[in-house]
Structure 1
Amino acid sequence: MRSSIKKTAIGCATTIAVVASLAGCGSSSANENEITFFANNTQDNYQKLIDGFEAANPGLTIKFSTTNGAQAGYQQTLQTRISGGQLTDVFVAPPEQLNDLVKNNCVKDLTDEPFMDVIGDTNKEQSSVDGRVYSMSVTSWTNAFAYNKDLLAKAGYDNIPETWDDFVRMLKDLKDAGVETPYLEPKAGLGAMVESWIGYDSSTADKSIDQQITDGDTTFEQTYGEYYAEWAKLFDEGVMGSEVTGLGDDQVRTEFASGRLAVMPSGYWDVNTFKEAGLNFAFGRLPMLHEGDTPYAPGSADSGYAINAKLSGAKLENAEKFLEYIASEEGLKLLQEGVGLIPATKNYTPVIDETFAEPYEMYISTGNLYLNTLGWPTTGRSALRAETFAQLQQVALGSETPAEAAANLDAKIKTLS
C-alpha cells in the first residue's frame, strides 16, 4: 500500500464519483490576465513557483486555491467545483479521475502541445486516455523508510535491513534497546510495504497481480492474503500496536520529527521538514520478502497539471504559458524546492538531497516503482484504495484475519464492476 503520509499527488482515501451530469466546467475567473490554479498542496509550498512565473510573465498573476489540509478531500472538492461551474483554469488532475474528466470534456487535450516534448513516456502514459494525453506530469514519487540514525545506532544498526524478517528483527532489537516507538504507519497508509512486494512479484509475470485481479484471473484473497499475513507480523511480534488505527499522517510525522520514532514510511516531500527539526536521519529501502528480490517501492508518476477544456482566447494562451513555465528548467527547480517533488523530465536533472540518495538510485533511477491502483478498474479506484486501508485497520485491531481482509476486498471490487 502506498502510504498516504505522502503530502502530494495521488494519495486518495475519499470515494469519488464524477457524475455524467457535470455540465459546468467553466472558468472561475473572467479576468484574462489572472490564471486560477487549484492544487492539492499548500500555497506556501507553491509560492516559489508562482513568484517565478509572475516574474517571468509581467502582467499575469496566479490566483491559487487548495483544500483545507491540502490533500484532505481534494478530489471531493474538485468534483464540487466542476459541478458548480467553478473549475479553475489550471488544476491538478488525479489519475483516478482522469477518465471522468475526459468523458465530461473538462480537460484540454495536451498531446500535441510543444511543452509536452520534454515529458517522459511513463508520465505521459499515466496521464493518457485512449492514447491522448490530458495532463502534464513532470515529477515522480517513491515511498521509502525515513529512519533516525541515532535511534538505530542504539541497537547496533546503521541502515534498513534488506529483508522483511530482518527488518522486524531490527524493530524488536530497538525495543529491547529502550526505543519505545520503533515503527509507526498512519491509519490511511497501513501496509506500506505490500505494494513493494507485489511490484517485484508482478515484474516476474506477464501482467501485474492487480491487473490479474481486475481481469478475473485471480483474487485478492489468493494473492493479497499472503502479503497481508507478512505485514501482520508487526503486530504478532509486538513492534507496532493497534494505536496506529487512530493515527493520522501528521501525527506520525510529528513523532518522527520529535526524535521519538525510529522508522516511518515517508518520501522526498519530508526532507525539508526533517532537516528543520534538526534530526540525524536518512531515507532507506523498503525491505523485500526474500533475499535476492529486486527492490521495488510504491511509486509512480505524479498527478499532472491540466487545463480547463472550456478556456479559449487569451485565457487559454495564458494557461498554456503557465504549463510551459512549470515544465521549464527554472519551473522544475522551483517546484522541487517548494513542493518537494522530484522532477522526472527529459530537460532537467534534479539535484537530490544526500539523505534521499539511496531510494532515488534504487527506485526512481531504475524505474522499479509500482502502484496497485493502476491495475484496478478505472471506476472506483479511490473507493477500493480506501477499502484496503479500512480492512488493514481491522487486522490491526484483531477483528479480522489477513485472509478475511483480502477476501473482503474481493467483495468490494465486485461492487465496482
Structure 2
Amino acid sequence: MVRTVAVITSIGVAASLAGCSATESNENEITFFANNTQDSYQKLIDGFEAANPGITIKFSTTNGAQAGYQQTLQTRISGGQLTDVFVAPPEQLNDLVKNNTVKDLTDEPFMADLNDTNKEQSSVDSKIYSMSVTSWTNAFAYNKDLLAKAGYDSIPETWDEFIEMLKALKDAGVEKPYLEPKAGLGAMVESWIGFDSSEASKSIDQQITDGDTTFKDTYGEYYAEWAKLFDTGVMGSEVTGLGDDQVRTEFAAGRLAVMPSGYWDVNTFNDAGLNYAFGRLPMLHKEDTPYAPGAADSGYAINSKISGKKLENAEKFLAYIASEEGLKNVQDGLGLIPATKNYTPEIDEHFSEPYELYLSTGNLYLNTLGWPTSGRSTLRAETFAQLQQVALGSETPDQAASNLDAKIKTLS
C-alpha cells in the first residue's frame, strides 16, 4: 500500500489559530477531516448519527483521498480551519502535540480497549493523543489463474524463488507478471529489515538514526536484492510513472499477476470477480520469520481548542468509533482491520494467509518509526525517489542508499 507522505514545515506558524472559525459553528455539528473518501466513511457517519439523534457530521477530505492529506492538514491548521475531529498521521503527531493542536486522550474511557501497539504509536512523552483502532499490513495480491499458467498456486517463500516464478510467468505469456506503484517501490524491503531488526537489540532504522550504522551499510544490500526485478527483466522502469490506481486497475482487470496490496483492496477485487488471493511477502532466506510492512493505523484526534458541547460531541464520536458497532462500520466501509480488545473482526477468506502471518503475530515493521520524528515524511518520500532512480538505471542500489545518508544529515 502507498501511504503518501508530505513534509510538515510550518504547523507552528499558526497553530494558535487551530480552533477558530471552522470549529465555532453549530454546536451539534461535528466537523470531521479524514484521509479517505466520504463513501468509505458513510457507514460510520450514518451509524453515529442514528445512534445520536440531533448530532450531525460534516465530512471533508482531500482531492484524491489519501494523496496530499498531510499537506492539506498542515494548511488547514495554519489557516485556522482545523476541524473538530481529524485523522492524525503518526508522522505528524509530534508536531501536533508540540504546537498544542491535539487533545490528550490518555484517560478517556473510550481508550480502554485499544491494543498496546496502537497506543504506543499514538503516544508522545507517555501520553496518548490519537485513537488508533485499526492496524494494517502489506501483502501480495495474486491472480490464481495467471499463476497457474506457470504451474504455481501460491507465492513462494523466498525472494529468489519469487523471481524465478515471475520469470516463469513471463515465459508463459503473462505480459505483466509484477508491478509496484511509483510511491511504493521496494515493497519487500521493510519485510527483510523487519526480520533482521527482530534479531537485534534495536531496529536497523533506529541504529541509523543513532549513528551506529548507515543506510549504505544496511539498505544497500536490500536495495540490491530488490533491483533483481529489473536485472532479470520481470519488471521494467515504467513503474516510475505508475500511480496506485493504475496498478490496481491492471490487477482488477485481470492483466497483472502480482502486486503489493492490502486488506483495503478486498472489496475492489471481490467486485471485479477475480479468482485471486493475498499471500506472503517472500523473505530473503527460507528460515527467516515472515515479516511485512505494517503498523497501527493513523488515529482519530480531537482539536484541542474546542470546548463545551463541541468537545462533548467530539468525544461521543470517538466513543462510537471505538464501540463494536462503530468498529464493524470502520471495517465494512474503509476495508481496515480493527485491532482492539473488544472486537474480533471477520476476515475475508482471500486475506487469511497474511492475517495469520502478520497481523495475528504482530510481525509488522515500519521503517519510519525508527527515524528522526521531525524528518520522517521527508525521508520516506526520499526512499521512493531514490528507488525510482534505481529503476531508471541512473543510480546503483549503493548510490541510492548513500543518498539517503546525505538526506538524513540534513534533517538532524
TM-score range relative to shorter protein: over 0.9
Q: Contact (CA 8 Å) 1:17, 1:380: kept in 2 or not?
A: no
* 3-state DSSP of counterpart to 1:63: strand
Cα distance in 2 between the residues matched to 1:288 and 1:401: 22
Q: Deviations over 1:81-140 (max 9, x none)?
A: 001111000000000100110111110000000010011110000000000000000000
Cα distance in 2 between the residues matched to 1:325 and 1:18: 32
Q: Which residue of 1 aligns with 2:114?
A: 119
Q: Deviations over 1:266-309 (max 9, x none)?
A: 00000000011110000000000001100000000000000000
What pairs with 1:285-296 in structure 2 (closer than 5 Å)?
A: 285-296=280-291
Cα distance in 2 between the residues matched to 1:289 and 1:302: 27
Q: Contact (CA 8 Å) 2:11, 2:77: kept in 1 or not?
A: no
Q: Which residue of 2 aligns with 1:24?
A: 17
What pairs with 1:54-93 in structure 2 (closer than 5 Å)?
A: 54-93=49-88
Q: Which residue of 2 aligns with 1:13?
A: 5
TM-fit CA distance, 1:380: 1.2
Residues matched between the structures, number: 409
Unaligned regions of 5+ residues in structure 1, if any? 5-10
Cα distance in 2 between the residues matched to 1:307 and 1:13: 21
Cα distance in 2 between the residues matched to 1:129 and 1:208: 19
Paired letter, 1:21? V
Q: Contact (CA 8 Å) 1:67, 1:73: kept in 2 or not?
A: yes
Q: Contact (CA 8 Å) 1:211, 1:376: kept in 2 or not?
A: yes
For the pair 1:184 / 2:179, whether they are aligned, the reply is yes
Cα distance in 1 between the residues matched to 2:204 and 2:349: 34
Q: Which residue of 2 aligns with 1:231?
A: 226
Cα distance in 1 between the residues matched to 2:233 and 2:177: 10
TM-score between both structures, scaled by the size of structure 1: 0.97
Paired letter, 2:88? A
* 3-state DSSP of counterpart to 1:101: helix
Q: Which residue of 2 aligns with 1:382?
A: 377
TM-fit CA distance, 1:210: 0.1
TM-fit CA distance, 1:12: 2.6
* 3-state DSSP of counterpart to 1:252: helix
Unaligned regions of 5+ residues in structure 2, if any? none
Q: Which residue of 1 aligns with 2:252?
A: 257
Paired letter, 1:17? T
TM-score between both structures, scaled by the size of structure 2: 0.99
Q: Which residue of 1 aligns with 2:199?
A: 204
Q: For the structure 1 residues 330 and 19, does the alpha-carbon distance in structure 2 shift closer, same or farther, using more than 3 Å as the test?
A: closer
TM-fit CA distance, 1:230: 0.1
For the pair 1:314 / 2:309, whether they are aligned, the reply is yes
Cα distance in 2 between the residues matched to 1:83 and 1:379: 18
Q: After TM superposition, which residue ranges in structure 1, 4 or more long, deviate above 6 angstroms?
A: none
Cα distance in 2 between the residues matched to 1:49 and 1:19: 29
Q: Which residue of 1 aligns with 2:38?
A: 43
TM-fit CA distance, 1:16: 2.0
Q: Deviations over 1:365-388 (max 9, x none)?
A: 000000000000000100100000
Q: Which residue of 2 aligns with 1:193?
A: 188
1:108 to 90, 103, 107: 103
Percent identity, aligned pairs only?
Answer: 84
TM-fit CA distance, 1:347: 0.2
Q: Deviations over 1:194-232 (max 9, x none)?
A: 000000000000000000000000000000000000000
Q: Which residue of 2 aligns with 1:140?
A: 135
Cα distance in 1 between the residues matched to 2:395 and 2:13: 39
1:402 to 397, 400, 412: 397
Cα distance in 2 between the residues matched to 1:252 and 1:121: 34
Cα distance in 1 between the residues matched to 2:10 and 2:262: 30
Q: Which residue of 2 aligns with 1:366?
A: 361
